[in-house]
Amino acid sequence: MIAWGTLRGTGGRAVEVIRLVGLRRVLATEPRWMMQRKFLAFARDLTTPLPPVPLDPVIRRTLGPGDVAALRDLDPTLSADEIRRRWRDGQHAEGGWEGDRLVYVRWEARGPAYLRYLGCWLRPLPTDLLVVDEFTHPRTRGRGISTVASFRSLHRARDAGCRRSLALVAWWNRSALRVTRDHMGRRLVGTVGYWNLGVTRRYFATGELRLDRDGVSVSPADVAPGFMDVIDTPRR
Ligand SMILES: CC(C)(COP(=O)(O)OP(=O)(O)OC[C@H]1O[C@@H](n2cnc3c(N)ncnc32)[C@H](O)[C@@H]1OP(=O)(O)O)[C@@H](O)C(=O)NCCC(=O)NCCS
């Protein structure tokens, strides 16, 4: 049986994608997206000076087990199991609150992270911070909530000794590209994704990302990039 929450989440996500990129663009990109899930990988060097953090439109705090219901209200596609798994894996969730309402979440990892949208593990370098996922409530978008969270994250990561901040963005996601690439000054370091081949997926990785037996790993910038490493991986 399909849970109502899942249905609401999937339908809601579809409407949201249409709102984000426009119906015409969805119709143009959807066939390609169904066949090939391609994400662009961006990196920001944290050893160079960072711009100051702008004024914050929301109250931020680290989220924990008491916030599962609020997280599911914000993004119903996230199951309680998935949320707990992320914490078990050592991921960090920072929330943005308007009064008692959670309107933003940002998931980050220092170390390997299972990415549900890729269906595999991504292993950054020990000195990398990986932005796993972020979500702003549709009614509070375009107010800089994600941009300020990204600035805060860069400073936090640098202060914690990270040398680089990494993020993956679906190639069609204009809002996320504005924040991740344009506002944060990240540079494109590779791509990763898979071809949908019915019962299997054919993964690919380019640039500083590499496929290996356990998923995808990230090379240091000074290692020669792997171009189009391809393996077949069964669907989970
Ligand atoms: C991507 C996302 C997190 C951005 O959050 P946000 O808080 O709206 O981001 P900001 O307000 O800081 O910046 C949004 C940028 O998106 C665009 N934008 C502006 N108004 C917008 C609106 N009402 N809705 C969506 N995007 C808008 C603008 O290009 C803006 O850049 P600008 O400052 O140059 O104008 C949000 O759109 C979201 O949750 N999307 C769905 C989940 C997702 O795609 N996550 C990213 C995975 S990498």
The CATH number for 34-234, chosen from 3.40.47.10, 3.40.630.30, 3.90.180.10, 3.30.530.20, is 3.40.630.30
Q: Which atom of ligand 1 is nearest to the CA of 131?
A: 48
CA of 213 from ligand 1 middle (Å) equals 34
Q: Which atom of ligand 1 is nearest to the CA of 134?
A: 45
φ and ψ of 78, to 5 deg: -90, 120
pLDDT in tens, 34-55: 999 999 999 999 999 999 999 9
Average pLDDT, the chain: 88
135: Cβ below 6 Å to ligand 1?
yes
The two tokens of residue 76 are 């119903």
134: Cβ below 6 Å to ligand 1?
yes
58: Cβ below 6 Å to ligand 1?
no
pLDDT in tens, 178-234: 999 999 999 999 999 999 998 999 999 999 999 988 899 998 765 444 444 444 444
The two tokens of residue 129 are 């911070």
179: Cβ below 6 Å to ligand 1?
yes
Sign of CA dihedral 143, 146, 152, 158: negative
Domains of the chain, by residue range, sit at 34-234
Cβ atoms of 20 and 175 within 8 Å: the answer is yes
pTM, whole model, 2 decimals? 0.87
